[in-house]
Structure 1
Amino acid sequence: MSCLQKWKTIFAMIIVEFGFAAVNALFKKVLNGGMDQLVASTYRLAVSAIFLAPLAWFFERKVASKLTARIICSLFISALLGGTFTQYFFLLGLEYTSTTFSCAFLNMVPVITFILALLLRQEKIKLKSRSGRAKILGILFCLGGALILTLYKGMALINPSAESEVESSHRKKSWFLGSIFLFAGCFVWSAWFLVQARISKDYPYQYSSTAIMSFFGAFQSAILSFIITRNVSKWILKGGLEILSVIFGGMVGSGLCYVVMSWCVKQKGAVFTSAFSPLIQIFAAVFDISILHAQIHLGRGGCIAYMTSSSK
């Protein structure tokens, strides 16, 4: 791979992580306003499918191979893991925590992906080699960081007297519950990387595969939403911010970002693509402070920096 191609993938993934952080900040705002997680996920995936369909037709209609039953099943599973469940669990965790905290949890994705790859015999580890021992240490560091993020909050670094004791107690309970949802989201997203690595070999057409995945994901999220809640009023978008979040989240977060990630998985593999997740925390912290006016706490701020450095 040429130096130019290498830098293209790096630059592309930096833009992807910035896009994810911006989408997360917007959805944190609308979730706090009462928007339902599954409704948000359904609209977001539907917008992604509508946005990507003409792009897939324009760029790939002459080169894309025919869809087989096996590829369709793989894309359906990919949508279930990377679209429906990942977005639902992550939006639940985002509602209970903060943008910075939820993005910090994404450091678990490369670790979980590696463990799943080991269990499925897609990856090998040599304990006697330096790289093998480094991988083990990296796993332990990230797992320890996740526990600290969940169990220890620390004092607020910005305006520490603004939060009352009642609010603090409620936040601790919400934070722990949010951590469970975020871990579930990280687990299914890690599984998605392994599925996507296979799809990139069988059907290496990023626009088409992402458009189909988004279509399946929107359908799955809608069915799940009608099963869990039958309140029709939740499907009505209230205000310009919710409309903006759905459109921007669909076009960027579930659309272009997934297209670029699929391309990077094809070019450099799942481990390389997932290794850029620590960058989301840096961008998310900026959005948290400047837009959402959220608190950054001592324990978690230090832990986020620790997990970011240890995951590189």
Structure 2
Amino acid sequence: MAELKSCAEWKPFIAMIAIDFLFAVVNILLKKVLDEGMNHLVLITFRLSISTIFLAPIGYFWERNSRPKLTPRILCYLFCSAIVGASLTQYFFLLGIQYTSATFACAFVNMVPVLTFIMALPFRIETVNLKSNGGRAKILGSVICVGGALLLTLYKGMPLFKHPRSQALAPTMANAIKLSSSRRAERWTIGCLALIVGTMLWSSWFIIQSHVGKRYPCQYSSTAIMSFFGAIQSALLSLSTSRDLSIWVLRGKVEIITVLYSGMIGSGLCYVGMAWCVKKRGPVFTAAFSPLVQIMAAMFDIPILHEQLNLGSLLGSIVVIIGLYILLWGKNKEVQNYASKIAQEAKEIREQETQLQVITVSCDLSCPEAK
């Protein structure tokens, strides 16, 4: 029994590591097709449509006996979840990836746990006790993470690797190099702002998902519905911004593979896994694994796509990760203190029950003598 319990405790950790690896591959593929000129919103629409088609049958058959009634309130939650977790979030992240790099975009994802923690405070999903070391660590970690994010945004720094131009840059980025330095700085700024907005939306998704998981605890069905709403939202947004139907045509194997993989894996199984982890361990735990995406993306991004890694990105990422794990240390400390408090209270209750039993037995023995 103890081994089974230990195995169950490790499942969320293993799941999140696998999810982050799959997300890193998704980011690299997305960067590749975006550099080749694929439209952001078209990519999102295809991706979410594939996710819906892939997950809907699984959710229908797998969860048909345990699925609760789908109320208007739950549909409203799922619609909002699609906005902040699927359509708009992916749009801003893809825009940020195109204007910066996959590794740099993943660095912004490191802010997600802190923003999730801050957003969870008003909803009392998370609490802070400033009198305890854990509470102070959570505040300190949050401040350090914000400082790291500012460093990421405001300081680019010198490049740390030198790649030949022919290998280092995809076609669209090669053209971007020819632009004036002011134009390149403008693109970088737009990319940073897009990533900030995307990060805030992504953090909001974890909060919404914690509410969805309580009211509709069917990960496959809820993700399929969310993807369906997200696909409609993205399609409408795409059609409202561009009436050119040629952008909807997939060109080449890379685009087809990217759409299928990012749909079935990125927006499908990964979202299901994260929803399950949010249900099991909460939004902050799930978001805390975000830094792994950056590390794994860099393993592909730099040697394969020959993306550049700048000093500012490296320093900012290190600061963010330090702040993140100070925050997590504080959270873990508070959990330990709470567990100790509960154990102490349980011990006191048992002692009181034992004393009551002794008193009861004494009364039972003395009562016949009194008679």
* Aligned match for 1:70, one of 73, 76, 96: 73
* Aligned match for 1:208, one of 218, 221, 234: 221
Query: 1:156 matched to which residue of 2?
Result: 159
Q: Distance in 1 between matches of 2:153 and 2:272?
A: 32
Structure 1, unmatched stretches of 5+, are none
Shift of 1:291: 2.0
Q: CA RMSD in A?
A: 1.8
* Aligned match for 1:240, one of 245, 253, 261: 253
Query: 1:190 matched to which residue of 2?
Result: 203
Kindly indicate whether the alpha-carbon contact (under 8 Å) linking 2:111 and 2:146 is maintained by their aligned counterparts in 1: yes
Query: 2:45 matched to which residue of 1?
Result: 42
Shift of 1:310: 2.9
Q: Distance in 2 between matches of 1:299 and 1:83?
A: 29
Paired residues for 1:250-289 under 5 Å: 250-289=263-302
Paired residues for 1:157-176 under 5 Å: 157-159=160-162, 169-176=182-189
Query: 2:31 matched to which residue of 1?
Result: 28
Match status 1:2 vs 2:5: yes
SS in 1 for 2:111: helix
Q: Which amino acid aligns with 1:14?
A: I
Kindly indicate whether the alpha-carbon contact (under 8 Å) linking 2:107 and 2:313 is maintained by their aligned counterparts in 1: no
Shift of 1:170: 3.9
Q: Which amino acid aligns with 1:261?
A: M
Shift of 1:309: 3.3
Q: Distance in 2 between matches of 1:134 and 1:170?
A: 41
* Aligned match for 2:95, one of 92, 95, 99: 92
Match status 1:109 vs 2:122: no
Match status 1:180 vs 2:183: no
Q: Which amino acid aligns with 1:104?
A: A
SS in 2 for 1:35: coil
Q: Which moved more, 1:52-61 or 1:14-23?
A: 52-61
Identity of aligned residues (%): 54
Query: 1:295 matched to which residue of 2?
Result: 308
Q: Distance in 2 between matches of 1:9 and 1:148?
A: 31
Q: Which amino acid aligns with 1:143?
A: V
Q: Which moved more, 1:106-115 or 1:252-261?
A: 106-115
Aligned length: 312
* Aligned match for 2:22, one of 19, 41, 45: 19
Q: Which amino acid aligns with 1:248?
A: Y
Query: 1:81 matched to which residue of 2?
Result: 84
Q: Distance in 1 between matches of 2:142 and 2:126?
A: 15
Q: Which amino acid aligns with 2:86?
A: G
Larger Rg: 2
Normalising to structure 1: TM-score of the pair? Answer: 0.95
Shift of 1:172: 2.7
Closer, same or farther in 2 for the Cα pair 1:47/1:165, shift >3 Å? Answer: closer
SS in 2 for 1:311: helix
Q: Distance in 1 between matches of 2:11 and 2:81?
A: 25
Q: Distance in 1 between matches of 2:99 and 2:288?
A: 25
Q: Which moved more, 1:120-129 or 1:139-148?
A: 120-129
Normalising to structure 2: TM-score of the pair? Answer: 0.80
Q: Distance in 2 between matches of 1:129 and 1:279?
A: 29
Kindly indicate whether the alpha-carbon contact (under 8 Å) linking 2:144 and 2:322 is maintained by their aligned counterparts in 1: no
Q: Distance in 2 between matches of 1:304 and 1:102?
A: 11
SS in 2 for 1:2: helix
Structure 2, unmatched stretches of 5+, are 169-176, 326-371
Q: Which amino acid aligns with 2:240?
A: I
